[in-house]
Structure 1
Amino acid sequence: MTDHPAIAGTATILVGVDLGLPNFDGELEELGLLAQTAGMTPVARVTCKRRAPDAALFIGSGKADEIKLLAAQTGASEVLFDQSLSPGQQRNLERHLGLPVNDRTFLILEIFAQRARSHEGKLQVELARLQYLSTRLVRRWSHLERQSGGIGMRGGPGEAQIELDRRMIGETIKRTKERLAKVKKQRQTQRRQRERRDAFNISLIGYTNAGKSTLFNALVKARAYAADQLFATLDTTTRQLYLGEAGRSVSLSDTVGFIRDLPHGLVDAFQATLQEAIDADLLLHVVDASNEGYVEQIAQVQRVLTEIGAQDIPQLLVFNKIDALPEDQRPVRLVDEYEIDGVQTPRVFVSAKSLQGLAELRQKLSSVVAASAPVEILSGDIPEIDGAAP
């Protein structure tokens, strides 16, 4: 399967391998969006099926030859895989194709590096990138192959210099972790201050591009950056939200979006940012109701919540972008329940863009905060919905 749009930016071939696992993106739509977010232009898409990855080239020599020919035909200057490649597979592919080869993990790291604005965000991205590149020193430092080992060449090309680079990058990782630890300590101090003020903390979470920042801006009239693209927000932003019916203000935080196969290094590196979700009294789980794959996106968010230890925090589902739904799929009522992992979870339908449903969302939030017992409120009786829903 191939696709040839106009070239603008780094011309890139997208490659996906169906290994029989669930949720394979046969159209490579999300990878294409990620590539465009990073400033690349997909000029061709290639998919194939394999029972298992080829040890040397991941895709096998025949498919690699096909990609090499396709690159010559389309003028592609880079190849991007939807799966994670081992350092050896990446190096072998580059030698075979004569082009730079990167994977989904590297792409997400690059996007995060481009978007991080705060001191904390930049530190987190730097750590994740260093950890990723530390396993690929031989490939990144291929110029060192001009060097030779000692007597008998037992050490191999450039071993001494590569070990020096590995030690240097290891020391940089250590320093970055120490600096992040200080930032995390500062955040803990800020959280303790909020706790002393008896603050109720709500964190906006959800799959990337679900409209979290747009909803955040609509609720608190802030000016957080919002765009129709993946990972528009990387740094946590916190504002006060006044709920009239509850007679008090709450702390509302907009967090980084989740995504399928989020690199584990990023989960670890962004622990300080994701701590906002861990310490929340309520998670406002924003879902793109117009996305046909929203069920799987919800599941992916739940997996990351489990990884960071936030799976037991009460949730309120916000099905956003109902203005983008066909008329016959729009809900008759804006409040109902949706089952997540066997638990009935309250759901509110909204359009952060047109502001439809925001009054109902505020009312639901007010009832939770006023009772100061999210679990009891969230498990209470909620009106049934009549009519179609996504």
Structure 2
Amino acid sequence: MQVNRETFNDVMVPNYNPAAMVPVRGQGSRVWDQENVEYIDFAGGIAVNVLGHCHPALTSALLEQGNKLWHLSNVFTNEPALRLAAKLVDATFADKVYFANSGAEANEAALKLARRFMLDHHDEGKDEIIAFKQGFHGRTFFTVTVGGQPAYSDGFGPKPGGIIHGEYGNLAMLEDMMSNKTCAVMMEPMQGEGGIIVPEPEFVKGVRALCDKHNALLIFDEVQSGMGRTGKLFEYMNLDVTPDILTSAKSLGGGFPIGAMLTTAKIAESLKPGTHGSTYGGNPLACAVAEAAFDVINQQEVLDGVLLKEALFREHLARINNKYEVFTEIRGKGMLLGCALNEKYKGRARDFMVAANNEGLMCLVAGMNVVRFAPSLVIPEEDIIEGLARFEKGIAKLVSTPSDSK
């Protein structure tokens, strides 16, 4: 059966507007489309393909487990899930792990756990969730409401209650909002979809202190910032702040769908049998691939290499910006970077993404004003240099074209 981009319009629900080209094959940080046109991948499947495409450790794990056992349900446990959970516990603050299929599901579990914990240890009135404007925590109705972007949650009827939003980075506002009703504060230790916003360390420490003061739980959504992307296994390790609950997904599976919620033994006790679950969560196939990804990522050589690659990105982006004057700053850490557009190009992030794609570079946006890069942690230096050369070609064409002709 022959399919192409037009087939999407014929058979798919129109909630996406994918690129004109259709990728069919990937190797490392390079991708080829139906016409065998090559692209360098700085998008990483939206910060998912943490080791690029078809990494031998991941494909080997997939094939080996694929010939053993795919799915059991949670009536049984399985060896890959137990090994992966043990490695996550050993490498982090956590004592216990819950597996799901995505970041949204991991966040849903975290929010439900926080409320159930407070019900067990306090009273029914301590159920208020505080999150931050421009945050993103998934697309379930609960998580999209907690995420502070009304454009994603409006238009679906009454929203879940007991959720309020502060300004990311504004500690005084958060202090005014918190009370004995506060159940938990949920935050990204670096905002992703909201524009690759790196908070001041003092803000994050202040959030932790306020949670302690009000007996509230601190939930870190590390779906995008975790699994080596900032040069540490998780971003909380860079901040000297330990959350009560942490969520992971995206890079956790290296491209295979899996999510995880990590927490302490005391808090975990509130998810007793029957309180929450997932049919596919923790299935052997996903956990085997994620374990292989973890084993590669959690090596000092790989984590140190992330910061060296970041420096190379920043060096070339600074050179490009000196020439074309399109960015106000380069935000982010490690292999999660955002190029913030200046006033002249405000609102045109998607134009930059399309221009790059036309030159053979896959990248992302983070809102209307930030071009986002989330490449493989092990992307070769030559692919970084070549990818940014293609990015520069796209910029050169875009800046020479009047905006009203787009």
The verdict on a shared fold, with TM-score over 0.5 as the criterion, is no
Task: Give the alignment's TM-score, normalised by structure 1.
Answer: 0.28
Task: Give the alignment's TM-score, normalised by structure 2.
Answer: 0.27
Tell me which structure has the larger Cα radius of gyration. 1
